[in-house]
Amino acid sequence: MSILNVFNSPTTFALATCVMADRRRINGPPGGTRPAIYATSLPSIKDADRARRQRQPSELRKIFLKTGLIPSASGSSYLEFEPSASLAAARANPKSLIPPSSALKLACTVHGPKPLPRSVAFSPNIVLTTHVKYAPFAARKRKGHIRDASERDLGVHLETALRGAIIAERWPKSGLDITITIIEAEDDRWWGDAPDSHDASWGMMNVLAGCINAASAAIADAHIDCLDLVSGGVAALVTDNDGGAPQLMLDTDPAEHRSIVSACVVGYMPARDEITALWLKGGTSKAALDEQDGRSGHEALVDGAVDAARGAHMVLGEAVKESMERALGQTT
Amino acid sequence: MAAQQKASSASQTPHLSPAELSYLYTSLSLPQNPIRPDGRSPTQFRPLTAEPDILPGTNGSARIGFADGTQAVVGVKAEVEKTVLSADTLDASNLSQQQGDFAAQEGRDGREGAGSAAVAGHGSWVQVSIEIPGFRDDDALPVFLSEMMRESLVGSVAGGNDSSDEMAGGLKGRLVINKRWHWRLYIDSQGEEDPFFDDDWAVAEHLYPRGTTNSTVKLSSSVPQVRPPITLLVISVGENTIFDPSREEIAVADAVLAISVARDGGDKNLKLLSIRTIDPPSRLTQPAVPNSENVNALGATAPTEDVAVLNPATGEEEVPGVWRPRRGGVKRSVIAQMVKTVLKKGGVGEEVLEGLEGVEVE
């Protein structure tokens, strides 16, 4: 018992997270090892192999969203983005072992509402906990077993997006756990590119939009009252040719663009026309907009993200309808 | 209270009763001229003191303090580290260079040319940690704050201002020494004494003197035109936009935004770097019960006394004077208004930056 206590005491845990060392597993080298590359193979990494966007600027990727796949959870969903054209082509006709881009896949489970443990103080509202974790194999660079700063940051963003929609006072003294496992993450850039000055974790924004969509489907699947289905959408200002002004594109796959100047993700409730979460990164002042467009760059970017979220909302509605039909079929 | 504290990224809210919350909300949401508890105007900041270079063991440091005793100390350390290009950053051009005259390039400054990681720097070379008493280092608030600061710092000049070559690539580019070595920057800040959410603002300002001391240490050339970014905390209450909110004001906010801005190159314009919504703690508060629904007050009031009216800002029916936790999000027009107040010429962002430029850095 005493040993157990030592391991469970918060100080030990805080210590372990503070140095961020995972001492319970035998982990591979944190940075990954670099495969041997022979000079003869070098011409194979060509700019021509770069993945390119085949969609219209305002065309979204298809979303696969299904609820209720995890029976032990009170609500669950699985979300997948359509693979880009280049990825589909590379799968059909493989030239290299390295896939040109990746497509987001994630699973979300909702546990609750469940009573809070006795040790927790009274809360008049539902206590929401969000937990976002990349699978170790989700990204090109391996992620550890302990959540790193970016994963916890995603969790905070997701919580902000969902809390605005959940009608929290209907479940006093209860908790709601939302756990998201990212099975395949989006790339931050084309894999052949080295990070440059425009570099940032752009893929995270698509992941967040996916998390918001999956989580609100799972919450609806768990029959938790919300003001509306929150849906996530991404828009970005991208420059594909050198020297051009950044163009506004919806639902960008960072692997398909040469450089992303700024990007924005929103959690949006179409019924109320309200934004529950907003995360905008990068300079927006140089955006190429129409002459008569009176909006500034960031406004256009937010509006673009809202349009993308509206698109995702339609998929969400269908998925929730399916979940409802299944629930009705079970009761009768 | 622990669970509730952890539950919000803007936590550590004061314990106010529903009646107090309602009073505060009503006075802050008065159309045109909100009444703040400390009598400030909506865009007025609290007086604050800042002094740079207080820690001899660091490469750059600063302390900032508000009049109410909130303060934060920041230390910056730079270490030389070997540049390792990991497998996911391999670049064709880079590779061909490497297998060519590697040794010949070693001594050369790698800042010429563009595109490779050794030239442009990497965001992970800047490491920010924030410690706030009462919070564990994996709680939402410190994680959120440090990511927010790192993001705006790293991204600050990523847009590339053509005016000075020295700042090409932004802060990240400055960390490059040559092809094989780079600086790693550790920014540690420590909130002290009565820490609350405003700390992020204070801390973000700390980065300002930090950036300048840093530039003098490392480049000692004439580049102080480029300033580090600042992050402003802005709340909206009703139709009003309020800057530098105190803890009590955040507790009733409809929406809380953290807006990072920086000077756009040499000119006086401001540019937006990032916006993040922060979970307003008003969503977690306890609701009040109107007399018409309260069994204990039956017959005590006339039925006409509490009639729900529509709050135009939130679109919810509310009985005046009866607090309800906020629900839902924020309208796009409100966000646009908040950003405009920060960015416009002679606006709040400019004012704060000018004030900070008055801080003496030798």
- With 60 as the cut, is the pLDDT of residue A256 above it? yes
| Bigger pLDDT: A308 vs B174 | A308
The structure tokens listed for B52 are: 């740079």
Over residues A102-115, the mean pLDDT reads 92
Query: In percent, how much of chain B has pLDDT > 90?
Result: 2
Tell me, what's the ipTM?
0.81
Q: What is the pLDDT of residue B299?
A: 66
Q: What is the pLDDT of residue A166?
A: 92
Whole-number Å distance between alpha carbons of B208 and B218: 16
Q: What is the pLDDT of residue A38?
A: 67
Q: What is the pLDDT of residue A46?
A: 65
Separation in Å, CA of B67 to nearest CA in chain A:
30
Of A141, A227, A303, the CB nearest to B327: A227
Q: 3-class DSSP state for residue A205? A: helix
Radius of gyration of chain B (CA): 24
| Bigger pLDDT: B225 vs B359 | B359
Beta-carbon contacts of B347 under 8 Å, excluding residues fewer than 6 positions away, are B270, B340, B341
Domain locations along chain B: 15-44+229-362, 50-101+109-228
Which residues in B lie closer than 8 A to residue A274 (C-beta atoms)?
328-331
Instruction: Render pLDDT for B210-264 as a digit per residue (tens, 0 to 9).
Output: 333 333 333 323 334 456 777 888 888 888 889 888 878 888 888 888 888 877 7
Instruction: Give the CATH class of B50-101+109-228.
Output: alpha beta
- Which of A280, A296, A313 is most worth mutating to test chain B (most B CB atoms within 10 A of its CB)? A280
Q: What is the pLDDT of residue A34?
A: 67
Residues 160-179 of B with CB under 8 A from A: 160, 168-170, 172-173
Q: What is the layout of strands, in order, in the sheet containing A174-184?
A: A63-67, A75-81, A105-115, A174-184, A127-134
The full set of domains in chain A, from first to last, is 56-331 (3.30.230.70)
Q: What is the pLDDT of residue A216?
A: 95
Instruction: Render pLDDT for B327-347 as a digit per residue (tens, 0 to 9).
Output: 888 889 889 888 888 888 777
Instruction: Render pLDDT for A140-193 as a digit per residue (tens, 0 to 9).
Output: 888 888 888 889 889 999 999 999 899 988 898 999 999 999 999 988 877 777
Beta-carbon contacts of A101 under 8 Å, excluding residues fewer than 6 positions away, are A51, A83, A84, A86, A87, A187, A190, A253, A255, A256
| Bigger pLDDT: B62 vs B251 | B251
**Is the pTM value of this prediction over 0.90?**
no
Instruction: Render pLDDT for A51-96 as a digit per residue (tens, 0 to 9).
Output: 788 888 889 999 999 999 999 999 999 999 988 888 888 888 877 7
Are B334 and B312 contacting, i.e. CB atoms less than 8 angstroms apart? no
Whole-number Å distance between alpha carbons of A158 and A267: 9
Whole-number Å distance between alpha carbons of A235 and A251: 5
DSSP state of B184: E
Query: Per the CB < 8 Å rule, is B276 touching A153?
Result: no
Q: What is the pLDDT of residue A39?
A: 62
Separation in Å, CA of B128 to nearest CA in chain A:
10
Are B309 and A283 contacting, i.e. CB atoms less than 8 angstroms apart? no
| Bigger pLDDT: A50 vs A181 | A181
| Bigger pLDDT: B243 vs B61 | B243
DSSP state of B271: E
Instruction: Render pLDDT for B270-292 as a digit per residue (tens, 0 to 9).
Output: 888 888 888 888 888 888 888 77
| Encoded amino acid at A314, one letter | M
Are B173 and B120 contacting, i.e. CB atoms less than 8 angstroms apart? yes
Separation in Å, CA of A213 to nearest CA in chain B:
16
Whole-number Å distance between alpha carbons of B172 and B168: 9
Query: Per the CB < 8 Å rule, is B329 touching A153?
Result: no
Cross-strand bridge partners of residue A108: A77, A180
Q: What is the pLDDT of residue B302?
A: 61
Are A313 and A270 contacting, i.e. CB atoms less than 8 angstroms apart? yes
Beta-carbon contacts of A248 under 8 Å, excluding residues fewer than 6 positions away, are A57, A235, A236, A237, A287, A288, A289, A300, A301, A304
Whole-number Å distance between alpha carbons of A249 and A263: 9
Whole-number Å distance between alpha carbons of A62 and A311: 10
Are A299 and A293 contacting, i.e. CB atoms less than 8 angstroms apart? no
Of A37, A194, A282, the CB nearest to B155: A282
